[in-house]
């Protein structure tokens, strides 16, 4: 599955991008940044107040305290909260809190994080999201070595849902596809294209070759 990834710090632009994706995609990822865990900022929990998602979505929380986002995204209509392994907060507490709201829990891991470091959490979450860029910016450069980590992970955990996020372009989609992922998040290559729908369709065509 090709999943458009939305990133903005403006509420109006956020809904514009979300509604636009709803015209051609079944599922989107919403990127959230707090300016602390990563240097960039995105929409805030307050920006979600009163809004409802027009399509299925997950929230990728790049923030020191993902718990600030659980209820706002539950009310917004998200199906899954993905938080980072690298946060200092008690990850078991985060997983428990997410599940208590009825949402699925996903774990994101940065490019330099080794499988052995997060292996004890694999069975505690519903999905693993592999970052293929240093997180925090739209349009960052793809790190090819992450694909080797994903292939190793799939050998160890063949049935675990896995995603990749960051730097995926038409030029590397074939290599990404071979890693055997459940879903592929694409941000700027779709949302910053002159026609996001045409860009999305191009990714589908390349993936299905």
Q: Which residues are catalytic?
A: 31, 165
Q: How far is CA 44 from CA 55, 69, 160, in A?
A: 20, 9, 30
Q: Are 123 and 154 in contact (CB under 8 A)?
A: no
Q: Are 32 and 84 in contact (CB under 8 A)?
A: no
CA distance 121 to 38: 22
Would you mind telling me the total number of residues written for the chain in this entry?
209
Going by C-alpha positions, the residue among 170, 178, 172 that lies closest to residue 204 is 170
Going by C-alpha positions, the residue among 21, 27, 22 that lies closest to residue 2 is 27
* Helices and strands, counts by H and E, the chain: 8, 8
CA distance 190 to 197: 8
């Amino acid at each position: 599955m090709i999943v458009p990834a939305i990133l903005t710090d403006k509420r109006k632009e956020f809904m514009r991008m979300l509604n636009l994706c709803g015209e051609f995609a079944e599922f989107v990822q919403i990127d959230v940044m707090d300016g602390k865990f990563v240097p960039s900022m995105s929409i805030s929990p307050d920006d979600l107040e009163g809004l409802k998602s027009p399509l299925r979505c997950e929230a990728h929380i790049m923030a020191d305290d993902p718990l600030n986002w659980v209820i706002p995204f539950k009310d917004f209509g998200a199906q899954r909260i993905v938080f980072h392994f690298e946060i200092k907060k008690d990850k078991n507490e985060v997983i428990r809190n997410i599940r208590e709201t009825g949402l699925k829990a996903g774990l994101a891991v940065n490019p330099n994080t080794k499988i052995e470091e997060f292996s004890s959490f694999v069975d505690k979450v519903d999905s693993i999201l592999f970052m293929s860029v240093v997180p925090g910016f739209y349009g960052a450069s793809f790190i090819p070595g992450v694909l080797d980590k994903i292939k190793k992970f799939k050998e160890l955990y063949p049935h675990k849902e896995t995603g990749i996020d960051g730097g995926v372009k038409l030029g590397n989609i074939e290599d990404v596809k071979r890693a055997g992922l459940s879903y592929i998040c694409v941000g700027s290559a779709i949302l910053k294209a002159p026609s996001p729908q045409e860009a999305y369709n191009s990714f589908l065509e390349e993936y299905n070759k």
